[in-house]
Copies of this chain bind each other. A is one copy, B any other.
Amino acid sequence: MPDYPRTVTVVEVGPRDGLQNEAVHLSTAEKIAFVDRLTGAGLPVIEVGAFVSPSRIPQMAETAGVFTGISRRPGTRYTALVPNVTGLNRAREAGVTEIAIFAAASDTFSRRNINQSIDESFVTYKAVCDEALAARMRIRAYLSTCFGCPYEGDVPPLRVTDLARRLLDLGVFEVSVSDTIGVAHPGQVTKVLEILLARVDRARLALHFHDTRGTALANVLTALGIGVSTFDASAGGLGGCPYAPGATGNLATEDLIYMLDGLGIETGVSLERLLDASGYVADRTGRALPSRVAQATRATRKPGVGL
């Protein structure tokens, strides 16, 4: 077996990246209950919400209220996505001490997603980072479309490396290299990481995979073998339908924990309590979430199934 890291940090993005892309709109109280269950499950980092325009993304309108209501566990990090200085100020007012910014490795994707070129977005993020650092906040960055863009197709790994470096130079402590459209496979992960690691310390990297083509856990396994030890995931696979009903987006946290548990890699997460957290949301959405472990567990717990 390759020399895998002994511990992994799982960044739970379900309450933000997940719920933002779901049709169901949870109330403030329901979101608080969800985050508290994730805390109870032992997730070390939880992205609670986003301070974005409620008219543009109504799903995130409750974020300030959620931050006020959650029960914080010492040692757990609670983060929020922030698109600009206005969002940063709202986050500070809500007592947030760690933020995330969202850049892209494809200019077309950046323009379509946030209506700014990559360079324009870096001007925005420079202002956000300067203010956040002055306020002693920690800053995480997503770098989207690192393995392919829905508009431009292939994305050169050298560009990904350059942008990851620029984000780190803004004072970001970690770049989450993201497969926004779920096309990455282990061969590509190996190539992109080889190029990235020539200029970026692996301790500064997280990976954010989607399971759209079933490769997410194989990609994680490949990255583990290269020494990356931070991975994003979404409880239940929330945020799962970028293209089609039934198609999945975010890697489900349960599926990730199931594999990491089997490898003997410590995460501090209780799979059982995590299933309880995603089951809570599944009950509210009224549908089974995409997580395969969650679906298999629910199915085998039904009376009459011999497992």
The number of residues on chain A lying at the interface, defined by a beta carbon within 8 Å of a beta carbon of chain B, is 49
> Can you list, as one digit per residue, whether each of A242-269 has a CB less than 8 Å from chain B (1) or not (0)?
0111111000100100110111100000
Q: Are A1 and B190 in contact (CB under 8 A)?
A: yes
> Can you list, as one digit per residue, whether each of A190-211 has a CB less than 8 Å from chain B (1) or not (0)?
1000000000000000000001
- Tell me, yes or no, whether A220 is within 8 Å of chain B by CB: yes
Contacts of A255 in B (CB 8 A): 213-215
Question: How far does the alpha carbon of A214 sit from the alpha carbon of B300 in the complex, in Å?
Answer: 16
- Tell me, yes or no, whether A222 is within 8 Å of chain B by CB: yes
Question: How far does the alpha carbon of A106 sit from the alpha carbon of B246 in the complex, in Å?
Answer: 33
Of B216, B243, B258, B291, the residue contacting A296 (CB under 8 A) is B243
Contacts of A94 in B (CB 8 A): none
Q: Are A292 and B248 in contact (CB under 8 A)?
A: yes
Question: How far does the alpha carbon of A259 sit from the alpha carbon of B190 in the complex, in Å?
Answer: 13
Chain B nearest CB, measured from A305 CB (Å): 6
Contacts of A261 in B (CB 8 A): 185
Contacts of A298 in B (CB 8 A): 244
Contacts of A218 in B (CB 8 A): 217-218, 220-221, 259
Q: Which residues of A contact B (CB under 8 A)?
A: 1-2, 150-151, 181-182, 185-188, 190, 211-218, 220-222, 225, 243-248, 252, 255, 258-259, 261-264, 288, 291-293, 295-296, 298-300, 305-307
Q: A185-B262, A214-B258, A215-B259 are in contact. List 9 more A-B contacts (CB 8 A).
A: A2-B2, A185-B261, A185-B263, A186-B262, A213-B293, A214-B255, A215-B258, A221-B222, A248-B292
